Chains A and B, each alone.
Chain A
Amino acid sequence: MTNKIEFKNYSLFYSDAQVLDDVSLAVPANQVLVVFGPAGGGKSGLLRSINRMAELEPNERHTGDVCIDGRSVFDPQVDVAALRRRAPMVFTQPIPLPMSIYENVVYGLRLNGVRDRRVLDETVERALRDATLWDEVKDRLDSSALALSGGQQQRLGIARALALDPEVLLLDTPTAALDPITTARIEELVVTLRERYTIVVVPHSIQQAMRIADVAAFMLQGKLIEFGPSNQIFLSPRDDRTERYITGRFG
């Protein structure tokens, strides 16, 4: 199994604050990596480093490397915008853009210059189907996305990302703002999407992590404490701190 994403001794700083400290891990392709740990551990920073969203923070510095398919994302020849289209992100708060559902889904494609109406139509249907939203909205694609429920908006966010036909999906606590039923649907969705994409998720809770992970990484104050297949991490963690966090002794 090839490694889709690799972190090599990667450290991240926002001004003087160190967000990540010498992280090294490798994510195999078509697997769900769950990055969990207490608040402030650097989980979001890890995600944002994969698609170079971290550098949008003021005074960002990093050392070490992050690679996708063996090639550094910081390579000067890399087109950052194209990189982000390969690894789009879905955020905690569903953020529909103030446009129609249709326009939201094709937003990324339009940025890329795609104008052919047929291609756009097909993409919209494919992405919304994959995000399990198609049946609910197929009759009102031109209505405002702001009118959707929270769960629908979040699935719209996923559809937006899928529309780009990416290779990697980055999900930052995607279900934190949603009710349990919708959360379950999205978790199902993530598990089915694994067949086609490599997914990195920051979970909302330990239970969610256990439900969807193939591999897991425990982060504490910017350091990678433990990393491995989910069975091993959750059922027989090697590090004491991992075990204490999982059993709820701190968090």
Chain B
Amino acid sequence: MAYSQQTARGDYAVQRVAFGCIWVAAIVTIAVLVLIIGVILGRGLPSVSWEFLVGSPQDMGRAGGIFSTIVGTVVVGVLALLIAAPLGVGTAIYLTEYTVESRLTRAVRFGTESLAGVPSIIFGLFGFIFFVTYLGLGWSVLAGSLTLALMVLPTIIRVAEESIRTVPRGYRDVSYSLGATRWQMVTTAVLPSALPGIVTGIILAFGRAVSETAVVIFTAGTALNLPTSLLAPTRTMAVHFYILAVEGISLPNAYATGAVLILTILLINVGANALLHRLTRQRTRR
């Protein structure tokens, strides 16, 4: 009897305090993002001009633009994805369509999750030991791309597997019953439906590749010249930003480079989500 009288004001007071804190946490999270983007873009965008984007760095980055770093970023990133995407999607296809759950699939999944947890400095170290030194590639676009590819591989595998699993089971039955081989079934009935998710995942993986610094600095080097071949060293935007900031070369240019970097990430994120939205709508409505 006494219990039903409870729910004392005390309890509700505690709740108000607790919820207040939680609301603060949520606001703080949004505020932090706004702060970071606001500061970098605010202090950096004024220095970003067309000349900045297409001009080459001069005087170790004190003056001039960041063109060679943009090229370096794009080349290394695209190459990394060109290597990782087929490997990752192929692995996902194998795990979902070509085997049943077994010791092998569990081992591969374990490997994927472990690889996903390896910190970037270890990848950088490995890339340095294996690609740069052992295989003799030197500090090069190729070494950087290969190492980056290995780093984003788990992400692609995860995303591809998820996408493939969302394809309705019936599509496989229909495809087989009309005389498809397994590979035909995969390429004509499963992959087209899984494509939106896979493509989004690849674009987001590209975003990760663009942001990476520890890996690239020890595999692709820090040379400011335009990379002329796969074996030439190069500097990516993130690395350039790091060097400008840490070595105190030029604060305005650091901000400017940071602004371009953030804009790129924003573009990639927004673009990927918009693309996913559009592609899935196309598939289900039409």
The reply, when asked whether chain A contacts chain B directly with Cβ atoms under 8 A, is yes
The answer to the question of A26 belonging to the interface, with a C-beta cut-off of 8 Å to chain B, is: no
Whether A98 contacts B193 by the Cβ 8 Å rule is: yes
| Given A81-B179, A84-B178, A111-B179, also A95-B284 (CB < 8 A) | no
Q: Which residues of B contact A170 (CB under 8 A)?
A: 177
Contact A144 B286, beta carbon cutoff 8 Å:
yes
Known contacts A93-B170, A95-B170, A111-B188; A147/B177 CB under 8 A: no
Q: Is B168 in the interface zone, CB < 8 Å from A?
A: yes
Q: Does A5 contact B (CB under 8 A)?
A: no
- Chain B: CB-nearest residue to A170: B177
Residues 67 to 109 of chain A near chain B (Cβ within 8 Å)? 81-82, 84-85, 88-91, 93, 95, 97-98, 107-108
> Is chain B's binding surface mostly helix, strand, loop or mixed?
helix
Contact of B100 among A58, A90, A111 (CB under 8 A): A58
Question: Contact partner of B177 among A88, A110, A144, CB < 8 A?
Answer: A88
For B176, B179, B180, the residue with the greatest tally of chain A CB atoms inside 10 Å of its CB is: B179
By a CB distance below 8 angstroms, the chain B residues around A157 are 174
From A56, A89, A146, A164, B284 is in contact (CB under 8 Å) with A146
Smallest Cβ distance from A91 to chain B, in angstroms? 6
**Chain A contacts for B284, CB-based, 8 A:** 98, 146
A198 at the interface (CB under 8 A from B): no
Instruction: Please tell me if A112 contacts chain B, counting CB pairs below 8 Å.
Output: yes
Q: A98-B193, A111-B184 are in contact. Are A85 and B170 (CB under 8 A)?
A: no
Knowing A91-B173, A95-B173, say if A81 contacts B180 (CB, 8 Å). Answer: yes
17 A-B residue pairings within 8 Å (CB atoms): A58-B100, A81-B179, A84-B179, A88-B179, A91-B170, A91-B174, A95-B168, A98-B171, A107-B178, A111-B180, A143-B286, A144-B286, A146-B285, A146-B286, A157-B174, A161-B178, A170-B177
A residues whose Cβ falls under 8 Å from a Cβ of B: 51, 53, 56, 58, 81-82, 84-85, 88-91, 93, 95, 97-98, 107-108, 110-112, 143-144, 146-147, 157, 160-161, 164, 170
- 15 extra A-B contacts, CB within 8 A, seeds A84-B176, A111-B175: A51-B177, A53-B173, A88-B178, A91-B173, A95-B170, A97-B171, A98-B192, A98-B283, A107-B178, A111-B179, A112-B179, A144-B285, A144-B286, A146-B286, A160-B174
